[in-house]
Structure 1
């Protein structure tokens, strides 16, 4: 039985969305988004595809992606 676990996810996710999907705390969700996502103003988000790549990659960020914590605006 092939079940798409990502079906109900919106195209752009908040930390709350990530926390609920991964069943982790909000702080952990923010850490994940800081690794894989993007900043918009004072908020951080990630795309559905970024989260899928993170999950399918075993929870490791891609080497060529820059960590948001190292970016300055």
Structure 2
């Protein structure tokens, strides 16, 4: 994604929006959301949001070089 596309994303992403950003499937996105180290904001029993800035940090810290 370009910087412009990233800036245009909402501050809080839904799981399907996050999946689209990461280019992964819905099932993979939900598996990711339930990992301990993944940054989510739970707004209710079925409302999960992912803060855009925390997602970007998570990707950078989990990217492997080489």
State the shift of 1:33 in Å.
Answer: 2.9
Runs in 1 of length 4+ with deviation above 3 angstroms? Answer: none
TM score, norm. by length of structure 1: 0.65
Which whole-Å CA distance do the structure 2 matches of 1:21 and 1:33 have between them? 14
After superposition, the C-alpha distances for 1:46-72 in whole angstroms (9 at most, x for unaligned) are: 11111111111125xxxxxxxxxxxxx
More helix by share: 2
Q: How many residues align?
A: 57
Which whole-Å CA distance do the structure 1 matches of 2:24 and 2:9 have between them? 16
TM score, norm. by length of structure 2: 0.71
Give runs of aligned pairs for residues 39-50 of structure 1, distance below 5 A. Answer: 39-41=42-44, 42-50=46-54
Which whole-Å CA distance do the structure 2 matches of 1:27 and 1:33 have between them? 10
The unaligned stretches of length 5 or more in structure 2 are none
The unaligned stretches of length 5 or more in structure 1 are 60-73
